[in-house]
Amino acid sequence: MNKYTRWYNQIVKNAQTRITEGYTERHHIQPRSLGGADDKSNLVDLTAREHFVCHWLLTKMTTGEDHYKMLNALRMMRAEKAGQQRYETVITGRVYESIKQEYAQLQSIKVSGKNNPMYGDKFYRSEDGKQRQRDAIVGDNNGAKQEHARQKISQSKLGKKRELFSDEWKAKMSVSKLGKNNNRYGVTVSEDTKQKIREKATGRKQSAETIQKKADAIRGKAKPKKLCPHCNQMIAVNTYPRWHGANCVNINTQ
């Protein structure tokens, strides 16, 4: 029995014979990945610090595949989720680097050579194999899968209404898109690109169902209006930018 095993057993023994108040974490004395069961005899409540130290000691007590598993378990000890109060003492850069390097080396060995699921698969590397992979991504079959996924999402949202966005949320979103924060800031669209957009939109017709939905959505709602200072008319805000304001000036001065 090495010193790490003695230390580990001592922490477990102390925890089994005490009454702990406050936050604790359930620990498998013999880890489940090493064959440990969920039996009460194999479980002990440890403080967050004890739990972390025990997993650290397990990396010192194991070899081979078991050592790899314990390294991965220790690596995951820094992950948190709701309700947990993980041990917050900072791991030194040297220790962290050592853990990550050793884990990466073992992980590399684990998927190298014959351990790689694609080992010896000549078809996978052939041009024919590569083409089949491309077809699986962009072909009709993939398109059908995507359409099926869209339909499922659509069905899951039927009859459900999203809560209205608050004025505060709208204001924040507006500010977040101003000036250089806008993803189109400084973008210049060439005449060639503009022409392609026009050609793509030309002749496009909305279905009767879409037109009906839009009509139903606005029916009975009064559109806000604003005064055009050049023609002195109250204009609906959705058409104002196209025919009034600066454009109204241009039209009247031609």
What are the tens digits of pLDDT across the range 94-127? 665 666 677 677 777 777 777 776 666 666 567 7
Distance CA 69, CA 63 (A): 10
pTM > 0.75: yes or no: no
Supply the angle between the helices 48-61 and 3-16 in degrees, to the nearest 10: 150
Instruction: Please state, for a pLDDT cut of 90, what percent of the chain lies above it.
Output: 13
Q: Which two tokens stand for residue 84?
A: 């947990």
User: What is the reported pLDDT for 5?
Assistant: 93
| Beta carbons of 40 and 79 less than 8 angstroms apart | no
Per-residue pLDDT tens digits for 11-26: 999 999 888 777 788 8
Whether the predicted pLDDT of 252 surpasses 60? no
User: What is the reported pLDDT for 199?
Assistant: 87
- Which range among 65-69, 139-143, 185-189, 249-253 shows the weakest confidence by mean pLDDT? 249-253
Distance CA 103, CA 97 (A): 10
- Residue 4 CA, chain-centre distance (Å), reads 39
**How many C-beta atoms lie closer than 10 Å to residue 230's C-beta?**
16
| Beta carbons of 10 and 28 less than 8 angstroms apart | no
Per-residue pLDDT tens digits for 153-207: 888 888 887 788 888 888 888 888 888 888 888 888 899 998 988 888 888 888 8
Whether the predicted pLDDT of 69 surpasses 60? yes
Q: Which residues contact 68 (CB under 8 A, 6 or more apart)?
A: 103, 106, 107, 110
Distance CA 185, CA 1 (A): 67
User: What is the reported pLDDT for 141?
Assistant: 61
